[in-house]
Structures are given as structure tokens and as C-alpha cells.
Structure 1
Amino acid sequence: MNLRLKEFLASSGARYQVVSHPDAITAQEQAAVSHTPGQSWAKVVIVNPWRHV
């Protein structure tokens, strides 16, 4: 996990759990490889609008 993200979550008091899993593209594939029901899985996307790719 990125250190800046870890520090941000800690300073925000956010509760989270890091789950390691094999590579997968879709949220449904990620749920399947982690043996989690699809309806219980959320795929997180973090966007930085100030950085040009």
C-alpha cells in the first residue's frame, strides 16, 4: 500500500482492511479470487485530477 495513502487513512481515522489477492481486472473477478460474495466487494479507484498522464 502506498505510504501517502496509508498516512492519509490514519490521519482521517478511517477503518480499512488490506486484502491481498491475485491480479484481476473487474470487481467481480477480484471478489471471486478472494472468495468474497460480489455484492460485498467494492473496487476503489483513486483519481488525482492535478496530475497529467
Structure 2
Amino acid sequence: MNYCTYTYLKALANLRLNLKYIIWYSTKRRKLRLKRMSPAQYQAHCYREFNN
């Protein structure tokens, strides 16, 4: 394996790790904002609150 191929594969591995972190962080923030409920559960919760 030459240096260019190694560098390219290393960059892809770093990109994959960064994407995993972004997805994890976004999911964590979304759950905290929605009071630890899934989006569907939160929507149903809000619907029940506003219609009662």
C-alpha cells in the first residue's frame, strides 16, 4: 500500500468516526430537548396536553 492510499484510508476512517459522533450528539440533544421521548412520543404527549 502506498502513502496516498494509506492517507486516503486514514481520512475515510476519521470521517466515519466524526460522522458517528455527530449522529450520536444530535440524537442525544434531540432526546434531551424532547424530554427523553422519541419524536412520535413527544408529539402524542403535546397533543394530549393541548387538547385536555
More helix by share: 2
For CA contacts below 8 A with separation 6 or more, give which structure has more relative contact order.
1
Interval of TM-score (by shorter of Structure 1 and Structure 2): under 0.3
- Radius of gyration: which is bigger? 2
TM-score by length of 2: 0.24
TM-score by length of 1: 0.24
